[in-house]
Structure 1
Amino acid sequence: MSADFVSEFVLVDRPRPGVAVITLNRPERMNSMAFDVMVPLRRVLDDVKHDNDVRAVILTGAGSGFSSGADHKSAGAVPHVEGLTRPAFGLRSMQLLDDVILGLRRLHQPVIAAVNGAAIGGGLCLALACDIRVAGAAAYFRAAGINNGLTASELGLSFLLPRAIGTSRAFEIMLTGRDVDAVEAERIGLVSQQVPDADLLPTCLAMAQRIASFSRPGIELTKRTLWSGLDAATLEGHMQAEGLGQLYLRLLTGNFEEAVAARAENRDPVFTDDK
């Protein structure tokens, strides 16, 4: 598997057609969210978003950690902050991290988090911003802000975690700052499945390849409506968005007819992006 050079801390591989693997590559710091990592990651997400050869994305970490969150020893350099006061510097720093979380959500392509170890604080937020999460046996999760004398609410965590696992569990995990191991994470729905560590990337690659085999607009609109459902103020409004997506694909592609024909002929469908 060859890697595209992005920076020494962020690598992009294309191991299979239609699939990109983004690896946070600072294992000696457990892939912490230092700005030396987050700045190139933000650029990578923008590049991948506009790469029409990529139809599914996997985000993972090098070594034994997914991401350990804030780097308290080596935070790295924030660009374009010369001459700013401390409050303004803080705002720019937070905006950069916000851009990364929102960048994952705004990718056209579905993103699978291959959580191979610690996902702590901001690392948990990174995993939650992905569309699907799969955990290796060594994975564990922690809302760490409360342990550091801060709020546990950061980078969308208090929005995303209750929607992933329910309010009572989210409140308890965020207010106690305890670890959630891979077995519990699967049981409560924080991840869709947990697998042996050696099977983590192969499992995610197989999942990504399956996603990449479907209609591009079908996959993209499904991702959009799932996320809009989390934001929806009313069921009625969300159902209208879902209906428009279905109508769009039904009228503008021949993929529904192809799926029906493939089932009748006992073969795999071959989807296209237009008629």
Structure 2
Amino acid sequence: MSAVDTYEHLHIELRGGVAWVTLNRPERLNALNPRLIAELNAYFSGLHARSEARVVVLRGAGRAFCAGLDLKDMQAGGAKKGVTDYLEVQKNVRDIMLAMRRCPQPVISIVQGAASGGGFALALASDIRLLTPDARMNAAFIRLGLSGCDVGVSYFLPRLAGASVASEFLLTGRFMDAQRALSLGLASRVDELPALEAEAAALAADMMAATPLGLRLTKEALAFAIDAPSLEAAIAMEDRNQVLCTQGEDFAEGIAAFLEKRAPRYGRKGEAS
């Protein structure tokens, strides 16, 4: 992961605990160049349980979410890269998806226009996907002389949509439109961009009504449940999380707020240590 001092291609706005993170290379359809890759890595790997941001909304500036790796930028790099160089590029991109899954903050993606290759992976690595009617997602890798399985897509897609659907799109590189994504359960909602921004804000507000610990452990448990070897293993994780949540002051505040029919007032000191 490359550290960055300032963000050039990411615009980050914190609104009351919700970070609105915008990929900001609209002239290149927010394609991933080395700088944007480094900035995404730095941002998501820098999130932790006590970060000011408790929820992240990820979106793209302009008419696309993310067109994948910036191939023109790669070609402009000059000398042909060897295995070691390409492996470094590969790891830098895939580390974004790992950081998105490992960070405790839920990630809501608003996908408009193209989400190809690495852009598709960014959408799949998110916890919730909201799509505009013109959204089109594909695993573009296989159309570029590569394998269709790249940067986590072959992990996420079959788990989210099933093996047959994953095979259909990874073996062909076909585009998935918004309605197909909605029918497969890959998208929570399809609507125009202003409505999706309002929905993202509403979802984030509902998440902010949970305790910081409860929200974090829910994302963690969902991730583990996907790969749980048995029902018993998933329930064991749930049991552990519920007991942990009872140990902080936020649990008592949540009960009191519910009984008094008021909004809870949670504080970070209420997290279990």
TM-score (norm 1): 0.88
Taking a change above 3 Å as real, the CA distance of residues 133 and 51 of structure 1, as seen in their structure-2 partners, is: same
Q: Per-residue displacement from partner, 1:192-245 (whole Å, max 9, x unpaired)?
A: 111212222222122112212310000000000111112223332222112101
Secondary structure of 1:49's aligned partner: coil
- Kindly state the Cα deviation for residue 110 of structure 1 after the two structures are TM-superposed: 0.8
**1:56 counterpart residue number:** 55
Greater CA drift, 32-41 or 214-223: 32-41
**1:8 counterpart residue number:** 8
- 1:104-143 correspondence to structure 2 within 5 Å: 104-143=100-139
Secondary structure of 1:94's aligned partner: helix
What CA distance in whole angstroms lies between the structure 2 residues aligned with 1:86 and 1:40?
A: 24
Taking a change above 3 Å as real, the CA distance of residues 211 and 198 of structure 1, as seen in their structure-2 partners, is: same
- Kindly state the Cα deviation for residue 103 of structure 1 after the two structures are TM-superposed: 0.9
| Residue 262 (structure 2) pairs with residue 267 (structure 1) | yes
What CA distance in whole angstroms lies between the structure 2 residues aligned with 1:76 and 1:11?
A: 26
Instruction: Write the letter of the residue equivalent to 1:129.
Output: A
- 1:174-213 correspondence to structure 2 within 5 Å: 174-213=170-209
What CA distance in whole angstroms lies between the structure 2 residues aligned with 1:77 and 1:134?
A: 34
List gaps (5 residues or longer) in structure 2.
none
**1:17 counterpart residue number:** 16
Secondary structure of 1:68's aligned partner: coil
What CA distance in whole angstroms lies between the structure 2 residues aligned with 1:164 and 1:13?
A: 30
- 1:195-234 correspondence to structure 2 within 5 Å: 195-234=191-230
- Is the contact made by 2:148 and 2:171 (CA closer than 8 Å) also made in structure 1? yes
Greater CA drift, 103-112 or 139-148: 139-148
Taking a change above 3 Å as real, the CA distance of residues 111 and 166 of structure 1, as seen in their structure-2 partners, is: same
- Aligned counterpart for 1:247 among listed residues 243, 250, 264: 243
| Residue 49 (structure 2) pairs with residue 33 (structure 1) | no
Number of aligned positions between the proteins? 264
What root-mean-square deviation, in Å, do the aligned CA atoms of Structure 1 and Structure 2 show?
A: 2.3
Q: Per-residue displacement from partner, 1:72-106 (whole Å, max 9, x unpaired)?
A: 1113999xxxxxx7111111111111211111111
- Aligned counterpart for 1:166 among listed residues 151, 162, 168: 162
TM-score (norm 2): 0.88
- Is the contact made by 1:141 and 1:179 (CA closer than 8 Å) also made in structure 2? yes
What CA distance in whole angstroms lies between the structure 2 residues aligned with 1:213 and 1:230?
A: 25
- Kindly state the Cα deviation for residue 178 of structure 1 after the two structures are TM-superposed: 1.5
**1:82 counterpart residue number:** none
What CA distance in whole angstroms lies between the structure 1 residues aligned with 2:34 and 2:11?
A: 15
- 1:135-154 correspondence to structure 2 within 5 Å: 135-154=131-150
Secondary structure of 1:12's aligned partner: strand
- Is the contact made by 1:13 and 1:22 (CA closer than 8 Å) also made in structure 2? yes
**1:43 counterpart residue number:** 42
Secondary structure of 2:20's aligned partner: strand
Taking a change above 3 Å as real, the CA distance of residues 97 and 261 of structure 1, as seen in their structure-2 partners, is: same
Secondary structure of 1:66's aligned partner: coil
What CA distance in whole angstroms lies between the structure 1 residues aligned with 2:49 and 2:214?
A: 17
How high is the sequence identity, in percent, across the aligned residues? 36
- Aligned counterpart for 1:97 among listed residues 93, 106, 111: 93
